[in-house]
Amino acid sequence: MNLSKEFHEQGFHVVNNVYDKDEINTISNFISNLDSTNPIFRKTDDLFAIRQFVKEFPEIKKLLFNENLKGIIKNISGEDYFIVKSIYFDKPEKSNWFVSYHQDLTISVDKKIEDKKFSNWTKKHNQFAVQPPEEILENIFTIRIHLDETNKDNGALKVLKKSHLKSICRIDSIDFEKEIEVFCNVKSGGIMLMKPLLFHASNKTTNDKNRRVIHIEFSNKELPQNLQWSEFSQIENFTSHNS
């Protein structure tokens, strides 16, 4: 199987056994020992999350970017990609939180600029988010690192196969009878690769099991008008990038 070809054609792919049990335990312990009073932590009954995860805790990169993960990134994108966004989240076992079908249409940047190609500006927690030109979104890929085994009963993503090829579109324009829906079950220590324009959703948790995921987005695009990715971070031992 050609991983890169499969991923870019389907818009997603699951790779298990990227991390062994010891690596997952080390990553989990690192997160457990963080000071959760930090304002970047979001804590509710339905969700525990850490925004700007890699930016705030860059030492986690040594634990996440093992040779397996770096090999997968090189396979699908080459060596000039870098981190542009990251978040850790835990969907607790009693969570009734679900997410309806959507595309990921925004990026995180350091400031607001006047550019007609950038729209729908928002600002939360001193970070700007904006919808960029479509070619920037098409360039991004996401890796979701699963610390827990995840299936449809505890919030595994469900996706519409190849829907990233539709470009940006409204969900009400989708004819679900013609779509192929896939649940992306991932084992603990596995990852899910995804294109942001792929329509994806997740159901409520029904099996009383957690779903802890580290979500990281990558790009190799420079932004215009001195606009910078707010969470830019290089991948160690990859080709250097001048930000």
Instruction: Compute the average pLDDT of residues 35-61.
Output: 82
Q: Which comes out higher in pLDDT, residue 102 or 206?
A: 102
Tokens of residue 91, six digits: 């969907």
pTM of the model: 0.93
Which residue is associated with the tokens 């950038």? 118
Instruction: Compute the average pLDDT of residues 18-39.
Output: 91
Instruction: Compute the average pLDDT of residues 80-107.
Output: 87
Query: Which secondary structure element, helix H or strand E, spans residue 131, and what is its range?
Result: strand 127-131
Give Dmax (Cα) for the chain: 48
240 CB burial (10 A radius; 0-12, 13-18, 19+): exposed
pLDDT bin (cut points 50, 70, 90) of residue 124 is confident
- What percentage of the chain carries pLDDT values higher than 90? 76
Give the per-residue pLDDT at 240: 44
pLDDT beyond 60 at 241: no
Q: Which comes out higher in pLDDT, residue 74 or 203?
A: 74
Write out pLDDT tens, residues 130-174.
Answer: 999 999 999 999 999 999 999 988 889 999 999 999 999 999 999
pLDDT beyond 70 at 97: no
Instruction: Compute the average pLDDT of residues 86-93.
Output: 83
Write out pLDDT tens, residues 56-73.
Answer: 999 999 999 999 999 999
Instruction: Compute the average pLDDT of residues 70-94.
Output: 90
Give the per-residue pLDDT at 212: 93
Mean pLDDT (the chain, rounded): 91
Helix, strand, coil % over all residues of the chain, rounded to 5: 25, 30, 45
pLDDT beyond 50 at 243: no
pLDDT beyond 90 at 22: yes
Whole-number Å distance between alpha carbons of 239 and 222: 15
Give the per-residue pLDDT at 63: 98
pLDDT bin (cut points 50, 70, 90) of residue 239 is low
Write out pLDDT tens, residues 192-238.
Answer: 999 999 999 998 877 878 889 999 999 999 999 999 999 999 998 77
Whole-number Å distance between alpha carbons of 59 and 61: 5
Name the least confident of 6-10, 40-44, 184-188, 238-242.
238-242
Domains of the chain: residue spans and CATH: 3-219 (2.60.120.620)
Instruction: Compute the average pLDDT of residues 1-28.
Output: 96
